[in-house]
Structure 1
Amino acid sequence: MEATPARGPVTRGVTLVLVALLSAFFAWTLPRADAQPVVTATAHAHAGAQASPAPHTAAQQAFHDQMRRLWEDHVTWTRLAIVTFAADGQPGFGPTAARLLQNQVDIGDAIKPFYGDAAGNALTALLHDHITIAVELLQAAKDGNTAAFTDAKDRWYANSDDIADFLAQANPRFWPQSEMRAAMRMHLDQTLAEAAHELGGDYAASVADYDAVHAHILAMADLLSNGLIGAFPQLIR
């Protein structure tokens, strides 16, 4: 799919449909009173710290910082893509989306020294779908197309589980499947809330959402870097 938004003004009616669709989605995903509490970014960071060693050499600290930069790029360019998508007709969306897709290549490349080129390329392919399906979902919401929205949402969350499962299979000791699935799904929930508020015109809420996305992605980055340090101490001294 070509990652370009449809042209034309975003009418008040379409905005209301968007908000209704996303509100219905969040009503469906919010936990019941008797459900298990949502895992927070702090909890993910704590769990990661327990499961694997924190960086303690200069090389490990540099690797930790690089992993954080890659995932900060992920959420930063995602936010810029959301903002330019919401500002309908802005020519900046194309280059922004291209830079966001390059970030998925960069993340895949980061695991190649540990798992090989094929694994790195496979992760990039999964993350590429993570981005392009998200664009489909936003376009369907903007168009008020409920069927397309539901289809894209289901595929987006299935792709999230695929990414989590890929990572868990690669490093089950330090990246347990349940933890990786929870982390990825929280990332999607938070990103969708950010997009809903931006497209619905609640810009203050969108900014607050980005702060939450940012905090959580740093915890995820630490979980990933700590897991690689723990699994490959001979490669990251």
Structure 2
Amino acid sequence: MNKQFLKLILLSIFLVLNLVPMNAMAEANGVEPVPVPALAQKNCLTPSMVDLKWNLRKLWIDHVRWTRQYIVSAIAGLEDQQQVLARLLKNQQDIGDAIKPYYGEAAGNKLAEILKEHILLAGKVLDAAKAGNQADLEKYNKEWHRNADDIADFLSKANPNWSKKELQDMFYEHLKLITDDVTARLHKDWDGSISAYDKGIDHMIMFADVLADGIIKQFPNKFK
């Protein structure tokens, strides 16, 4: 089956499953329900919109997934640590490449550069936490949050639909969830580590959707 056709089928199922209960609730409260076809049309996504959302979600899920894999490898001192780090850094370039069709080569490479710094600083935060070096932990954590500010500032200047404050808050939450995972693993709190990872995935899916929605609003002619 064609991959794009499968995506559209899945989105159609999602719309029906979410819109029908809304109408049932409306009827129960004495409100005239809106026909499902009209609601579906209002929320219709074109194939190019589906592709953008799908691709950005995949990239940001990989961001969390490979970050988690690096945390596991670094804390346990596994032999694959450098290979995992290389794959994680590649993900940052992939994210930068994903915005190049809209913002150009230089902007895509700049985003990749800032995101790679985010990863390298995360590694320093992890190393300091593992060593119990409080001074370095505070130092690198401050730089880590400064880098998050840089990411939010860069993106918000590129697209007026992206609020700097919203992006900043979302990236701070991302840092918190990574920190929660590291702390849990250092204390052998495996359930806590799994919980932080699950929350991290859900959070970055929302982040990816914010980016996708902003691009679609800024470049509507690319998504007809």
Q: TM over 0.5, yes or no?
A: yes
Letter in 2 for 1:137: V
Which one of 126, 138, 143 corresponds to residue 126 of structure 2? 138
Q: Residue 54 of structure 1: CA displacement?
A: 6.8
1:188 aligned to which of 153, 172, 175: 175
Give the % identical residues.
40
Look up the match of 2:103: 115
Q: TM-score, normalised by structure 1?
A: 0.75
Q: Name the amino acid aligned to 1:212.
A: K
Counterpart residue type for residue 111 of structure 1: I
Amino acid at match of 1:160: A
Structure 2 unpaired stretches of 5+ = 1-41
* 1:55–1:226 Cα contact (<8 Å) kept: no
Secondary structure in 2 matching 1:235: helix
| Alpha carbons 1:55, 1:229 under 8 Å: kept | no
CA–CA distance in 1 between the matches of 2:96 and 2:165? Answer: 21
Partners of 2:81 and 2:87 lie apart in 1 by: 10
The reply to whether residue 152 of structure 1 matches residue 140 of structure 2 is yes
Question: Aligned-residue CA RMSD in angstroms?
Answer: 1.3
Over 3 Å counting, the alpha-carbon distance change for 1:76 and 1:54 in structure 2 is farther
Instruction: Provide the C-alpha distance between the structure 1 equivalents of 2:136 and 2:128, rounded to a whole number of angstroms.
Output: 6
Moved over 2 A (4+): none
Which residue of structure 1 lines up, in the alignment, with residue 83 of structure 2? 95
Q: CA deviation at 1:236?
A: 2.8
Asked which structure has the greater CA Rg, the reply is 2
The equivalences for 1:1-237 within 5 A come to 56-88=45-77, 90-172=78-160, 174-237=161-224
- The C-alpha deviation readout for 1:8-32, integer Å capped at 9, x for no partner, is xxxxxxxxxxxxxxxxxxxxxxxxx
State the 1:55 CA deviation.
Answer: 6.5
Question: Do 1:55 and 1:61's aligned partners in 2 also have CA atoms closer than 8 Å?
Answer: no
Secondary structure of 1:229's partner? Answer: helix
Q: In 1, Cα distance between the equivalents of 2:72 and 2:189?
A: 12
- 5+ residue gaps in structure 1? 1-52
Aligned mates of 1:72, 1:94 — CA distance in 2:
20
Distance 1:116 1:54 in 2: 29
Q: For residues 102 and 43 of structure 2, what CA distance do their matches in structure 1 show?
A: 18
Q: Which amino acid aligns with 1:125?
A: E
Contact 1:59–1:236 (CA<8 Å) still a contact in 2?
Answer: yes
**Larger RCO: Structure 1 or Structure 2 (Cα < 8 Å, ≥ 6 residues apart)?**
1
Counterparts of 1:144 and 1:87, CA distance in 2: 15
Alignment TM-score, normalising by the size of structure 2: 0.79
Q: Which has the higher helix share?
A: 2
Shift of 1:147: 1.4
